[in-house]
Amino acid sequence: MAAIQNGSVVAVIGSGAMGSGIAQVAASAGHIVKLYDTRPEAVAKAIADIGAVYRKLADKQKMSAADADAATARLKSASSLGDVADAALVVEAIVENLDVKRSLFADLEGVVSDDCILATNTSSISVTAIAARLRRPQRLVGMHFFNPVPLMALVEVISGLATDSTVAQTVYDTAAGWGKNPVHAKSTPGFIVNRVARPYYAEGLRLLNEQAADPATIDAVLREAGGFRMGPFELMDLIGHDVNYSVTQSVFNAYYNDPRFTPSVIQQELVNAGFLGRKSGRGFYAYGEGAVAQQP
Ligand code: NAI
């Protein structure tokens, strides 16, 4: 099996931060992209935002105006799951919850053709478990992008125990065709990046808990002296605390409550408050006009 063919339909389920980024990259690569979300306003926003990005790229002459218009025209809104029946590849980027993802893929199996590949952008949940109740679990694979998707080259292609190796290779080749740097990995909790990154967040949160320094100081140290592109707090604000907290819980549970992965009460409280980071305008920092630095 080669990469998913240029021009074929790619469906993206979930039009939040990740889904809209994945849709942008797939449409740029020449696919017709169908976006579905339980909140239709999220789809409308994603299509409008991606169109604006393409126009900006055209203004900066990084893309021709004709290509920008053509890529925008390839973005289609799906009003129900039934609308994605002709997809060659479905990429799921919905809430980080095993039961919700399983239920979505069960519904998708009733809609798409037998040779359609089902991919999940889960950050941490077992791909084996997501696939387990499908009629054809061999066609489900992890396709794990990083935020912001158009800028981040890495894609982890995750095989569960049942994943067919040709399915994983097709997704790998597709990601490479989209200009990404894919890597194969087996399904382990948090895969590669989210496993290694957990202690980065956890130690930052422990430092904060012990009042060693404030988030801005810790971020600056890691960024300016440590050589990291972002400090742990600004990175958690970018990822979204709801997503990041769910990922920590999932890795912690999967590793039999290994204390190294213990979730933080500070982050739990941010989630309780709805201070989800950039996407809600407030997390460890405040965002938007007139924002002042916030401390949880
Ligand atoms: P988000 O909260 O920005 O967007 C999720 C979208 O899914 C929302 O628009 C929501 O309405 C929709 N949704 C929820 N349940 C749905 C359902 N049953 N059917 C259709 N749509 C549904 O979340 P984000 O950040 O885009 O994350 C999505 C997935 O990507 C999660 O699994 C997350 O772990 C993963 N991920 C997130 C990264 C990040 O940095 N935020 C990085 C890599 C992966």
The C-alpha atoms of residue 208 and residue 195 are separated, in whole angstroms, by 21
Residues with C-beta less than 6 Å from any ligand 1 atom:
13-19, 37-39, 42, 93-96, 100, 104, 121-123, 145-147, 239-240, 243, 247
For the segment 38-65, what is each residue's pLDDT rounded down to a tens digit?
Answer: 999 999 999 999 999 999 999 999 999 9
- Closest by alpha carbon to 3, among 222, 180, 138? 180
Domain extents in the chain? 9-186, 195-280
* CA angle (28 as vertex; 95, 181 as ends), nearest 5: 70
Nearest to 102, CA basis, from 124, 120, 79, 90: 120
The pLDDT tens digits for 246-289 are: 999 999 999 999 999 999 999 999 999 999 999 999 999 999 86
| ipTM score of complex | 0.99
Q: What is the pLDDT of residue 2?
A: 81
Query: What is the topology classification, in CATH, of domain 195-280?
Result: N-(1-d-carboxylethyl)-l-norvaline Dehydrogenase; domain 2 (1.10.1040)
| CA 148 to centroid of ligand 1, rounded, Å | 13
State the Cα angle at 265 between 264 and 268, rounded to 5°: 95
- Specify the range with the lowest mean pLDDT, choosing from 109-113, 123-127, 162-166, 290-294: 290-294
d(CA 134, CA 136): 5
9-186 to CATH, choices 3.30.70.20, 1.10.3720.10, 3.30.540.10, 3.40.50.720: 3.40.50.720
Strands 154-159 and 140-144, by their bridges, are: antiparallel
Residues serving a catalytic function are: 123, 144, 156, 194
